[in-house]
Structure 1
Amino acid sequence: MTRTVVIGGGFAGLATAGLLARDGHEVTLLEQQDTLGGRSGRWSAEGFTFDTGPSWYLMPEVIDRWFRLMGSSADEQLDLRRLSPGYRTFFEEHLYEPPTDVVSGEAEELFERLDPGSSHALREYLDSGAEVYELAKEHFLYTDFAHPADLLRPEVLKNLPRLAGLLSTSMKRYVASRFRDPRERQILGYPAVFLGASPDTAPAMYHLMSHLDLTDGVQYPVGGFAALVDAMTGLVREAGVQVVTGATVTGLRVDPAPASLRSRLSAARARRRSAGSVTGITYRAAGAGVVGPGGKGTAEVTVPADVVIGATDLHHLQTQLLPDPFRAPESRWNHRDPGPSGVLVCLGVRGRLPQLVHHNLLFTADWDDNFGRIADGSPLAQETSIYVSKTSATDPGTAPAGDENLFILVPSPAVPEWGRGGVSTPEVREPGSPRVEQVADAAIAQLARWARIPDLAERIVVRRTYGPGDFAADVNAWRGSMLGPGHTLRQSAVFRPGVSDPGIEGLFYAGSSVRPGIGVPMCLISSEVVRDAVRGRGPN
């Protein structure tokens, strides 16, 4: 049996470990935190429970596909609820009007109300998004581009001029050329944030995202994304994967490549670093009663491996965990975009909040200023575009009877120096950094004013915040990135790092740092791409 170690217990790590175990590998999965899920965290206090990561259940067929590869199905493992409305929008320049609800399948009627005559343009826009999505699934998502000839198929060649145009045009320009109403432009442009980008940096190819929510609809797994993590964990363990939590990987073991392999990897070595072959990893185990060289409560453990899957932040792996001279130089990252970070706010609120639905988006009028501050690391404006989730609208078990739970996401610059968040409950008071708490306070005040909940702050009984520093510390995120490197043109599709290390035999990568990219479905797809690469056992 091939001895395989997976570093990271997020969606990509779990998915890859499960598929490789089904392929007959002897798999050990190592996760540094005490719970699995990676960026999909969870927290609870005083009867309130929160997802602290992904919250939009999109591309359900991709998630179901992974479950079927594991001998099950999403229907068997999850209790999925379709949301209606899919989300509610609040526009800064229209606060005197009722908020706008976006209902899947009824977007044309909505656009016709917002700007009479625009429904036809939306129909064409969504039809185009559906076509590009199907083309992407067929030819671009489930591949590592290891064989360029695969892209020379008739259907790809036929669409090449169209795809080139979509890749060379920003979402902002693409949308603006078709829609006049600022509200419509924001509804169609905001999905860029889910890609770790902005409407003016994300390629227009990603207009397919609007097809996913406006046509296919938004679902929610009861129990939140924590329930998805738990379901995947159960299947992964059943497949024979040994799961170790509280295991902080401290280094990879790599032997210099033999002459036969060095000749094959000479180009890769010249581009980046010495060639080699992975032989295992070392990790620091933590736990009561453990005594090792690191002192009481810690021990260094070495695990031999024929294959290592790095399902965690690529920058951390290549610049910190690889031994010299195999590390990638920091200079390789100087011109990459880490994507935005964020300030997260979990609130337990007494009483009902009928002003909000499950998903809510608050859009400021000046997006150029909004996204410009995020891109250049400036302090956010007092009021900024934010996302608010009220899962208690669909899942009453996430809050005590009669109360609500809120999760607020404030996209922010990827500046870990902003610090970490804090906790405030009846039992614990540990404030976070001043900058993080200031952003959280401003978001709560903005939500109270925009949604007309004047007593919101007084009704909060539980509060926890997270800042860019938490992403850096908890998941080793490069520059505190919230999602992973953004999907700009230079970091999309073939321009994104591949899943096979070009210089180290037996080392592969999975997750949001590599192809196909950001998001839970993309991480599950990457597990299949990695599995296929491991089957080939050769660098691309």
Structure 2
Amino acid sequence: MKGIKKITIIGSGFSALAAASYLAQSGHDVTVYEKNDSLGGRARQLKIDGFTFDMGPSWYWMPDVFERFFADFGKKTTDYYELIKLAPAYRVYYGINDFITIADNLDEIVATFESIENGSGAKLQKFMARAKSNYDIAIKDLVYRPGVSALELITTETALKVGEFFSNISRDVRKQFKNERLIQILEFPVLFLGAKPSDTPSFYSFMNFADFGLGTWHPKTGMFDVVRAMVNLAKEQGVQFVTNAGVDKIIVENGTAVALQINGERIASDLILSGADYHHTETLLDQKYRAYSEKYWDSKVFAPSSLLFYVGFNKKLENIVHHALFFDVDFYQHAKDIYDEPQWPKEPLFYANFPSVTDATAAPEGMESGFFLVPLAPGINDTEALREEYFEIIIKRFETLTQQNVRESIIFKESFCKNDFVSEYNSYKGNAYGMANTLLQTAFLRPKLKSKKVKNLYFTGQLTVPGPGVPPALISGKLVSELINKQFSEQ
């Protein structure tokens, strides 16, 4: 590699933090510019009256990916934070005293399936064996490829599984299982990839192994532990951070990115990497330098937006676990309301997370912190009145299904929805998770890590490869840093 390069990074989400550490490790002078007043991108913290909430990601899956990241720097996750394996992993509610609890180990999950549908236990074991095989191929190898060419997908292992790229999760699950509840539980993990199970290739069953095989974990004091760890690691590599630094423009001269304009100041750079929203980043360029048109972005399938509520309760709640899914209404109608006919769902599914069940620091003693999420279509109309209407819907159902009164115990609630995703994160149409991993939006078919029109401009994060989710974000940061180092080594 020829000389130290000055690299500026836009945004401080997981992918940007990962890339910053890798590039600084390679000897570059790296500075991260974050528009908000705290680091972590969507994985920020909210602190109110002794309560602490993770504002973004709340599921810690694929612990091996985190270990692999820190191992690249001669570290372990335990050097920075402690992990707790959740037992149970989560619970799915269908009615009053009617729920399925997912254990923290596959043997118990198999037994649960068998108790609900005769013969499903053996079928689940077979399904999980294939899911593990896909996980070994995908997460240990395939996703660590930069999406430059279709040839990256052609390996001895994938050649044997080509049919799984042209079938879908929903079809495969329904071939094996008849009970609708078991089907929904098996379809649930791929929702993290941002698309309907019927639009997600069968190969992505590796998410089921991430769920049942590797388990659900929780950093001791929340997902922000991971942000804090990655910031500390980056600082150890020499990375500098600047907050309250929203980028106004990417300055291009003679087809090369040469500087950022931040708060009216020109900041020169040898190379610019954006971990911010891909679509937004391109709007920082003059029109002629944008690689993707508005028509392109509008034609893509985006992951849902979300209506979020951060709620403080003045008492401990009953009949809850750390992660809870409320599937007591039509699972598929809600999906249609997101993807097929975008609208506010008439009967919303929702997710609730109570970190104080596991982490005593999440709420004052004797109290509970609750995080509620309703998936919504991106680009949907967002008003305070609609937020209030839907809070009443979900809190009423929550009280009924868990058989307790909680409304009068609410100390405060803060909401966050599509408009906030746009204003806080410059998120395209207010999406929460990025671009969905459908067949035609996988690997080399996603927006490129390297700009096609501007030299020395790169991208990382959930709109490029490998896709949505925290573990893929770490991988995206590694992939782009390798492309950048390759460019410098060839100069």
1:229 is displaced (CA, Å) by 0.7
Shifted more, 408-417 versus 48-57: the winner is 408-417
In 2: Cα distance, 1:537 partner to 1:504 partner: 14
**For each residue in 1:173-224, what CA deviation from the matched residue of structure 2 results, as whole angstroms up to 9, or x when unmatched?**
1111111001100110111221111222222222111111111111100111
Q: Confirm whether residue 112 of structure 1 aligns to residue 91 of structure 2.
A: no
1:348 is displaced (CA, Å) by 0.6
In 2: Cα distance, 1:154 partner to 1:204 partner: 18
**For each residue in 1:297-340, what CA deviation from the matched residue of structure 2 results, as whole angstroms up to 9, or x when unmatched?**
xxx1211111111101111112x111232124212212111221
In 2: Cα distance, 1:123 partner to 1:115 partner: 14
Residue number in structure 1 paired with 2:12 = 9
In 2: Cα distance, 1:378 partner to 1:120 partner: 40
Residue number in structure 2 paired with 1:175 = 173
For 1:126-165, what aligned pairs fall within 5 Å after superposition? 126-146=128-148, 149-157=151-159, 159=160, 162=161, 164-165=162-163
Cα distance change, pair 379–464 in 1 and its aligned pair in 2 (3 A): same
1:475 is displaced (CA, Å) by 0.5
In 2: Cα distance, 1:103 partner to 1:77 partner: 27
Shifted more, 69-78 versus 509-518: the winner is 69-78
Residue number in structure 2 paired with 1:68 = 71
1:364 is displaced (CA, Å) by 3.4
Amino acid at match of 2:21: G
Residue number in structure 2 paired with 1:436 = 387
In 2: Cα distance, 1:19 partner to 1:249 partner: 23
Of residues 361, 378, 390, the one that matches 2:343 is 378
Runs of 4 or more consecutive aligned structure 1 residues displaced over 4 Å after TM superposition: 147-152
1:165 is displaced (CA, Å) by 2.0
In 1: Cα distance, 2:195 partner to 2:206 partner: 15
In 1: Cα distance, 2:422 partner to 2:149 partner: 35
SS state at 1:200 partner: helix
In 2: Cα distance, 1:149 partner to 1:465 partner: 44
Shifted more, 408-417 versus 460-469: the winner is 408-417
Amino acid at match of 2:213: T
TM-score by length of 2: 0.95
Residue number in structure 1 paired with 2:362 = 398
Cα distance change, pair 154–191 in 1 and its aligned pair in 2 (3 A): closer
Residue number in structure 2 paired with 1:88 = 91
Cα distance change, pair 415–324 in 1 and its aligned pair in 2 (3 A): closer
Does the 8 Å contact 2:195/2:303 carry over to 1? yes
Amino acid at match of 2:87: S
Of residues 458, 480, 484, the one that matches 1:508 is 458
SS state at 2:256 partner: strand
1:147 is displaced (CA, Å) by 5.3
Residue number in structure 2 paired with 1:102 = 102
Amino acid at match of 2:256: S
In 1: Cα distance, 2:98 partner to 2:332 partner: 25
Does the 8 Å contact 1:139/1:151 carry over to 2? no
Of residues 288, 292, 299, the one that matches 1:335 is 299
Cα distance change, pair 182–156 in 1 and its aligned pair in 2 (3 A): closer
Does the 8 Å contact 1:416/1:472 carry over to 2? no
In 2: Cα distance, 1:149 partner to 1:390 partner: 44
In 1: Cα distance, 2:16 partner to 2:141 partner: 24
**For each residue in 1:52-83, what CA deviation from the matched residue of structure 2 results, as whole angstroms up to 9, or x when unmatched?**
11011111111112122233210111111010
Q: Confirm whether residue 32 of structure 1 aligns to residue 46 of structure 2.
A: no
Shifted more, 530-539 versus 463-472: the winner is 530-539
For 1:223-234, what aligned pairs fall within 5 Å after superposition? 223-234=221-232
In 2: Cα distance, 1:147 partner to 1:405 partner: 46
In 2: Cα distance, 1:488 partner to 1:145 partner: 15
In 1: Cα distance, 2:206 partner to 2:154 partner: 22
Of residues 391, 407, 425, the one that matches 2:371 is 407
**Gaps spanning 5+ residues in structure 1: where?**
257-275, 285-299, 420-432
For 1:188-207, what aligned pairs fall within 5 Å after superposition? 188-207=186-205
Q: Aligned residue pairs: how many?
A: 482
Does the 8 Å contact 1:342/1:412 carry over to 2? yes
Of residues 462, 472, 497, the one that matches 2:412 is 462
Does the 8 Å contact 2:189/2:211 carry over to 1? no
**For each residue in 1:401-457, what CA deviation from the matched residue of structure 2 results, as whole angstroms up to 9, or x when unmatched?**
1111110111011125314xxxxxxxxxxxxx111222222111121111212x111
Amino acid at match of 1:3: K
TM-score by length of 1: 0.87
Could you tell me the percent identity over the aligned residues? 30
Residue number in structure 2 paired with 1:269 = none
**Which structure's CA Rg is the greater one?**
1
Does the 8 Å contact 1:88/1:102 carry over to 2? yes
In 1: Cα distance, 2:230 partner to 2:321 partner: 28
Residue number in structure 1 paired with 2:285 = 322
1:104 is displaced (CA, Å) by 2.5
In 2: Cα distance, 1:153 partner to 1:387 partner: 38
Q: Confirm whether residue 368 of structure 1 aligns to residue 345 of structure 2.
A: no
**For each residue in 1:129-164, what CA deviation from the matched residue of structure 2 results, as whole angstroms up to 9, or x when unmatched?**
10001111344200113355554443333x2xx2x3
**Gaps spanning 5+ residues in structure 2: where?**
none
> Higher relative contact order by CA 8 Å / sep ≥ 6: 1 or 2?
2
Of residues 397, 400, 419, the one that matches 1:446 is 397
1:509 is displaced (CA, Å) by 0.8
Does the 8 Å contact 1:364/1:384 carry over to 2? no
Of residues 423, 427, 432, the one that matches 1:482 is 432
Amino acid at match of 1:80: L
In 1: Cα distance, 2:86 partner to 2:69 partner: 23
